[in-house]
Amino acid sequence: MLIPYREALNQAMREEMRRDDRIFLIGEEVGHYQGAFKVSKGFVEEFGSQRVLDTPITEAGFTGLAIGAAIAGLHPIVELMTFNFGILALDQIVNNAAKIRYMSGGQLSVPIVIRGPGSAAHQLGAQHSQSLEAWFCHVPGLKVIAPATPHDAKGLLKSAVRDQNPVIFIEAQLLYGTKGEVQEGEYTIPIGQAEVKRQGKDVTIVAYSKMLLLALEVAELLAREGIEAEVVDPRTLKPLDLATITGSVKKTGRLVIVEEGWRFAGLGAQIAESVYAEAFDYLDAPIVRVTGADVPMPYARPLEDAAIPDREGVLAAVRQLIKGGH
């Protein structure tokens, strides 16, 4: 069935909350307002205010509360109105959620999902348009997921809820209204499993979250020029399915990595280093990264567009790589 991304997330949480009454949703306006992006539509009516908890504007507070609840045996889903606000909860996420299993010698676990919108939308300004996934990937103890399609969003969110470790689940804001096929019935997608979204032989394009849609669009345009691009979606950023990525690179001999985040110390740098280590002898050209600009996100629309990877930028990167340039 063809459904929006937000509905896929709604289905995943609804199914899991019906399956296990230890699961609850907590965050700002998740209850009676049904979520800032209507992901929790209908939840208060079905599950009640004891399992769908509206909170004050205090990310550190309700994230810490949820971590404590997870340690005590519940399975909280924390919705951040935006991951930009998650910065306020970093102490709880990094120093508590990510470390308690290790520091307790495995005696305690923190089965918590922290989810919500990330990356730029349209003219939200520098403080509300950041792609922070590389920050969370840097922290041992956290799993990080950034699905691009409704099918993947549903299957991976269900897996995240069932995981016994803290999971960061980032949903690009501009994806909520996008539609895609979602199979009916029960299914999950394993955490840490990438997927080849398009087969090709000339170049590999690795992209995740909303950049995947851009990569697929570029691949279709390249096909008209006789260039067959293989598009790989990591889906899970940590743990990273390097085997699928390197398998594609070994076939095509070229790699372009597209990410919306900042270039310096970005996730693409880690992917490139890993591919160089595992598949250097198979590369016919240097790896190319297409990233967001290393600037605070501008508010003016033309400048915002210039700071985010676009179709022409990715096309140019692939064409130069195919021609042997860098």
Query: What's the rounded mean pLDDT across residues 11-32?
Result: 97
228 is catalytic: no
Tell whether the model's pLDDT for residue 227 goes beyond 90: yes
Q: Which residue bears the tokens 């308690």? A: 100
d(Cα 103, Cα 67) in Å, to the nearest integer?
Answer: 15
List of residues 6+ apart from 277 with CB closer than 8 A: none
Helix (H, G, I), strand (E, B) or coil at 316: helix
At 324, is the pLDDT very low, low, confident or very high (cuts 50, 70, 90)? confident
CA dihedral of 148, 153, 159, 163, whole degrees rounded to 10: 70
Question: What are the structural domains, with CATH classification, of the chain?
Answer: 2-181 (3.40.50.970), 195-320 (3.40.50.920)
The count of other CB atoms within 10 Å of the CB of residue 261 is 23
d(Cα 54, Cα 66) in Å, to the nearest integer?
Answer: 13
Q: What is the pLDDT of residue 326?
A: 44
- pLDDT tens per residue, range 237-262: 999 999 999 999 999 999 999 999 99
Tell whether the model's pLDDT for residue 309 goes beyond 70: yes
- pLDDT tens per residue, range 23-58: 999 999 999 999 999 999 999 999 999 999 999 999
304 is catalytic: no
Q: Of the listed 7, 16, 28, 59, which one is catalytic?
A: 59
- pLDDT tens per residue, range 92-137: 999 999 999 999 999 999 999 999 999 999 999 999 999 999 999 9
List of residues 6+ apart from 120 with CB closer than 8 A: 129, 130, 131, 173, 174, 260, 297, 304, 308
Q: Of the listed 128, 217, 228, 278, which one is catalytic?
A: 128
Are 123 and 304 spatial neighbours (Cβ–Cβ below 8 Å)? yes
Q: What is the pLDDT of residue 323?
A: 84
Tell whether the model's pLDDT for residue 325 goes beyond 90: no
